[in-house]
């Protein structure tokens, strides 16, 4: 058989994506102030970012980054095990561990990298990783990288998780779930999953990218809401590109487990450590998350306003009480055309299509931030109503 030409394969794949309306393009953000973005020369109100608490441009956070960069430079100069582990990283790891009640933290350059690292380092052939079907792609990819057996249970189905854990008793088992599901906004049944993990001798690992900062007292996230801590959830990931308004991820766990990952995880060992200035900025974000509950209160009230208005309009809301409020539309063409109509009306809400979400579940993933105001929310609702031909005008609160 002749070798397949790469160019032909790529052209065929591109044609398939075009036919399925699955081509992905990147929009260039030329300027941004809060939720106002300048894209292709037009000012739009963004409803699709993850800056839930508006910290990405907060003066304290920006000043911490600038000052640390002035003192320490931009790059970390090496991987953490060689020359890249800085006092700012160490301080941030200690502060996060103390705040969330864990023995130790480990700072990664991205959440994606952290999930590859955790699962690759803790699991291998003969082990089992049981995951919610709607977990973020990097949890799935981490399990694949580890070569363990990966089983995925129907979304939020605790009994199915239990059954899958019961299929294998020989190796190590990890039960992994998002705390808040990134494309749906609903919350994992963590208390029940903790019971299942304990009964099945599995380690429960929660990726709370969209929970920490937003939910619970002081923004401690999904675990605090469910009344759980390090005993029930021995390993927790806090990606920092969302409520923290920065980049990277903090892994939290015991000295033994996190220490093992720090010494053996290939995605951690063989990658340049994040900038010390980013750790400094995230320390500033942590202070604001803890000390400014008004950000969460305002966000919650905007979420409630959006849901009230959307249900008055008969929009198909999901069971989500977090800032992620998807409108599931079905096929790609519908999601794209609604996104384009919203853009015409002045709103940036990118269409989310498979494989990011299951087939026939293309959607608008609307996200709210405390940087929005009531007028923004009402304006978006009116634009949605217009675009969808909904039954009545939005009801003011």
Ligand X SMILES: Cc1ncc(COP(=O)(O)O)c(C=O)c1O
Question: To which residue do tokens 């309009």 refer?
Answer: 313
CB of 98 to ligand X, least distance (A): 22
Question: 112: annotated binding-site residue?
Answer: yes
The residue from 48, 80, 138, 238 that contacts ligand X (CB under 6 A) is 138
Question: 356: annotated binding-site residue?
Answer: yes
3-state SS string for 271-333: CECCCHHHHHHHHHHHHHHHHCHHHHHHHHHHHHHHHHHHHHCCCCCCCCCCCEEEEEEECHH
End-to-end CA distance of the chain: 67
Backbone angles phi, psi at 258, to 5 degrees: -65, -35
Question: Can you read off the two tokens belonging to residue 21?
Answer: 């309306």
156 sits near ligand X (criterion: CB under 6 A): no
213 sits near ligand X (criterion: CB under 6 A): no
Backbone angles phi, psi at 308, to 5 degrees: -60, -50
The residue from 54, 84, 105, 111 that contacts ligand X (CB under 6 A) is 111
CB of 207 to ligand X, least distance (A): 5
102 sits near ligand X (criterion: CB under 6 A): no
DSSP H or E segment with residue 344: helix 332-344
Contacts of the segment 343-346: beta carbons below 8 A, 24+ positions apart: 343/44, 345/379, 345/383, 345/386, 345/387, 346/42, 346/43, 346/44, 346/45, 346/379, 346/383
372 sits near ligand X (criterion: CB under 6 A): no
Which stretches does DSSP call E strand in the chain? 29-33, 36-39, 42-46, 104-108, 128-132, 149-153, 173-178, 203-207, 235-239, 249-253, 324-330, 347-348, 351-352, 362-367
CA distances from 350 to 45, 185, 328 (A): 12, 16, 13
CB of 138 to ligand X, least distance (A): 5
| Number of Cβ atoms within 10 Å of the Cβ of 263 | 11
Site size for ligand X, by CB under 6 A?
12
Q: Which is nearer to ligand X, 303 or 387 (CB)?
A: 303
- Dihedral-angle region of residue 156 (phi above 0 means left; psi in -120 to 50 means alpha; beta otherwise): left
207 sits near ligand X (criterion: CB under 6 A): yes
249 sits near ligand X (criterion: CB under 6 A): yes
239 sits near ligand X (criterion: CB under 6 A): yes
Q: Is 127 helix (H, G, I), strand (E, B) or coil?
A: coil
110 sits near ligand X (criterion: CB under 6 A): yes
CB of 55 to ligand X, least distance (A): 15
CB of 232 to ligand X, least distance (A): 19
User: How would you list the strands of the sheet with 149-153, edge to edge?
Assistant: 104-108, 249-253, 235-239, 203-207, 173-178, 128-132, 149-153
Q: Which is nearer to ligand X, 221 or 241 (CB)?
A: 241
182 sits near ligand X (criterion: CB under 6 A): yes
52 sits near ligand X (criterion: CB under 6 A): no
Question: 73: annotated binding-site residue?
Answer: no
Q: Which is nearer to ligand X, 208 or 376 (CB)?
A: 208
Question: To which residue do tokens 């929310």 refer?
Answer: 377
Question: 283: annotated binding-site residue?
Answer: no
**Region of 105-113, 222-230, 265-273, 295-303 interacting with ligand X (CB under 6 A):** 105-113
Give me the 9-48 binding string for ligand X, x by CB under 6 A, dash otherwise: ----------------------------------------
Question: 182: annotated binding-site residue?
Answer: yes
CB of 204 to ligand X, least distance (A): 15
Q: Which is nearer to ligand X, 161 or 385 (CB)?
A: 161
The residue from 209, 235, 348, 370 that contacts ligand X (CB under 6 A) is 209
136 sits near ligand X (criterion: CB under 6 A): yes
Question: To which residue do tokens 């808040």 refer?
Answer: 180
**Region of 65-73, 108-116, 140-148, 324-332 interacting with ligand X (CB under 6 A):** 108-116
Which residues sit at the interface with ligand X, rule CB under 6 A?
110-112, 136, 138, 178, 182, 207, 209, 239, 241, 249
Binding site for pyridoxal 5'-phosphate: residue ranges?
111-112, 182, 210
Annotated binding-site members? 24, 111-112, 136, 182, 210, 356
């Amino acid at each position: 058989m002749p070798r397949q030409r790469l160019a032909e394969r790529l052209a065929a794949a591109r044609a398939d994506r075009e036919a399925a309306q699955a081509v992905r393009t990147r929009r260039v953000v030329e300027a941004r102030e809060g939720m106002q973005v300048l894209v292709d020369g037009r000012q739009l109100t963004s409803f699709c970012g993850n800056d839930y608490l508006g910290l990405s441009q907060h003066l304290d956070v920006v000043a911490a980054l600038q000052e640390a960069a002035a003192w320490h430079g931009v790059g970390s100069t090496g991987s953490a095990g060689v020359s890249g582990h800085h006092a700012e990283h160490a301080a941030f790891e200690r502060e996060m561990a103390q705040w969330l009640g864990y023995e130790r933290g480990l700072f990664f350059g991205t959440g994606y990298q952290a999930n590859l690292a955790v699962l690759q380092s803790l699991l291998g052939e003969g082990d089992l990783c049981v995951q919610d079907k709607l977990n973020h792609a990097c949890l799935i990819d981490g399990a694949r990288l580890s070569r363990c057996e990966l089983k995925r249970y129907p979304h939020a189905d605790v009994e199915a998780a239990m059954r899958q854990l019961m299929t294998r008793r020989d190796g190590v088992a990890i039960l992994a779930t998002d705390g808040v599901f990134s494309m749906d906004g609903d919350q994992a049944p963590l208390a029940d999953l903790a019971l299942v993990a304990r009964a099945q001798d599995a380690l429960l690992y929660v990726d709370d990218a969209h929970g920490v900062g937003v939910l619970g007292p002081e923004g401690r996230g999904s675990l605090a809401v469910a009344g759980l801590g390090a005993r029930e959830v021995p390993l927790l990931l806090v990606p920092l590109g969302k409520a923290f308004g920065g980049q990277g991820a903090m892994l939290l766990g015991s000295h033994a487990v996190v220490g093992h990952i720090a010494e053996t995880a290939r995605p951690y060992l063989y990658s340049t450590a994040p900038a010390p200035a980013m750790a400094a900025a995230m320390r500033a974000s942590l202070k604001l998350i803890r000390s400014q509950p008004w950000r969460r209160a305002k966000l919650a009230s905007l979420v409630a306003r959006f849901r009230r208005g959307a249900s008055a309009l008969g929009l198909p809301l999901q069971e989500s009480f977090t800032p992620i409020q998807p409108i599931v539309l079905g096929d790609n063409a519908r999601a794209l055309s609604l996104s384009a109509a919203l853009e015409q009306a002045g709103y940036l809400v990118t269409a989310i299509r498979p494989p990011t979400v299951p087939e026939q579940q293309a959607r608008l993933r609307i996200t709210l931030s405390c940087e929005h105001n009531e007028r923004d929310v009402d304006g978006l609702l009116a634009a949605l109503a217009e675009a969808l031909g909904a039954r009545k005008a939005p009801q003011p609160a």
